[in-house]
Amino acid sequence: MGKTTGFLEFQRLQEAVEAPLKRVKHWKEFVQVLNDEQAGQQAARCMDCGVPFCHNGCPVNNIIPDWNDLVYRQQWKEALDVLHSTNNFPEITGRICPAPCEAACTLNIDRVPVGIKSIEHAIIDKGWAEGWVVPQVPTQKTGKRVAVIGSGPAGLACAQQLARVGHDVTVYEKSDRIGGLMRYGIPDFKLEKYLLDRRIAQMQAEGVQFSPSTYIGQAQDQAAQEPGLTVLSPSELEQRFDAIVLAGGSETPRLLDAPGSQLQGVHPAMDFLRIQNQQVAGSRGAPAISAQGKHVVVIGGGDTGSDCVGTSTRQGAKSVTQFELMPRPPEQENTELTWPYWPMKLRTSSSHEEGCERDWAINTVELQGKNGHVKELRAVRVEWKTDPSTGRMSMNPIAGSEMTFPADLVLLAMGFTAPVRQVLDAFAVEADQRGNVAANTDNYQTSRAKVFAAGDMRRGQSLIVWAIREGRQCARSVDEFLMGSSTLPR
């Protein structure tokens, strides 16, 4: 906890942000980290609540009251040690995590939770600035070799944990740079990539080897046909390594089932975001998909859709419209019913604040084009009704509510359904009913004895904090498998 009466003395303080009209002119981050005094006051608000629901609300189980108390007392290095004890990449989560810990904070009963995310952001940024974040090189090597497939948060967390106990770890990534979704799926205005680069440098100093532009699967797979890729088969990996971890993403996008969805100008959201990130990184030429001068429609109301909105605005879109199939959530949750769980409520992102038309309960009926390119989107407003006998909701079009949107670019941000099937088939691992790799959270082991799975490839599309948690827990299971026991935390 912080100060006994801190929650009565100090108000919740949001991090300062650059004005929308200024920040849309560049791709840099625009959030200003709290200074030492501000972070100390915010940490002082952490109350002696008895049961720290924030700790349970956080998927990586951050020991939040402890580092809040340390920040309140200005013991920053000790706070950093506590933060790193559960989270390999707090500079990432402190920027892009939606903060379920704050929803679980006892003060959120009055909707003024401790600014946990902003304190985390302050701790790790100060740690890097002071030079406290250094490689943790193992004192002994085990002689065991582990391959990690996928360099997103699950794969990197798993690799770092395994390297620190002395295993030789190689991370394989099919993109030309390491980082997975963090590298090419999240815009720079939310996550600048130097943050990844310095962590990767730390991991290299700890002994992790990285192999980008490498596809793991069969040479005949469609994904293996991209130029510049090295293709390795699962059998080759099984010969070289003592254990293999499948830590790729849930990459199969949910597509639009409507006439005209095959028109040019209709793209999965991640294709659009990836090309923009590649351009900012200087790893590709001019983007093949651009919103400049176009009427953009984003279908899907989640974080990926929000990223499409912010990216389209910065590219110079003529208009940006975002709509969601489900009903509009309430402005405020009923905390008496929802706390300490993650509530369903209206969330307005920084990208929405920069300019965007939003609407809910809208279903796409048809896309219409000219000369093979999308020009209009026809939609209808829908009403959701719940069957009292089954509890299931059904969607019903509202007569006379048809509408038309100008649409030169349609971005499908409706989520992801499963990992790439060819990878699962290549390894001959069993899948669950949703198409993810079948593995439990007791040992993360697949149907193949030396093959493990973690993150979105195992649990499906989820948050970065869940990916880090699974990567860390999977690392412990791999270590136990290789050595018979493990000193790694679970």
The predicted-structure confidence for 364-383, as pLDDT tens digits, reads as follows 999 999 999 999 999 999 99
Strands (E), 184-276: 209-211, 214-216, 230-232, 243-246, 252-253, 266-268
Indicate whether 3 pLDDT > 80.
Answer: yes
Of 214-223, 232-241, 316-325, where does mean pLDDT reach its minimum? 214-223
What's the CA gap between 399 and 286, in Å, rounded?
44
Least confident of 29-38, 49-58, 481-490: 49-58
Mean pLDDT of 176-203: 96
The predicted structure's pLDDT at residue 284 = 56
CA distance 434 to 416: 11
Q: CB–CB of 308/222 below 8 Å?
A: no
According to the model, what pLDDT value does residue 265 have? 97
- What distance in Å separates the CA atoms of residue 376 and residue 390, rounded to the nearest whole number? 37
Under DSSP, the state recorded for 223 is G
Query: Does 98 sit behind a cis peptide bond, omega within 30 degrees of 0 on the bond before it?
Result: no
pLDDT at residue number 285: 52
Q: Which two tokens stand for residue 125?
A: 């940024």
Is the pLDDT higher at 108 or at 224? 108
- Residue 482 to residues 309, 475, 477, Cα–Cα distance (Å): 46, 11, 9
Q: What is the pLDDT of residues 119-154, one digit of tens each?
A: 999 999 999 999 999 999 999 999 999 999 999 999
Q: What is the largest CA-CA distance in the chain?
A: 72
Name the one residue in this structure whose structure tokens are 């994904």: 223
Inter-residue contact 427 to 450 (CB < 8 Å): no
Element (H, E) at 270: helix 269-281
**Mean pLDDT across the chain:** 95
Residues in the chain, overall count: 490
Quick one: tokens of 149? 């497939």
pTM over 0.85: yes
**Residue 227: band (very low, low, confident or very high) from pLDDT cuts 50, 70, 90:** confident
Mean pLDDT confidence for 23-40: 97
Confidence of residue 287 (pLDDT cuts 50, 70, 90): low
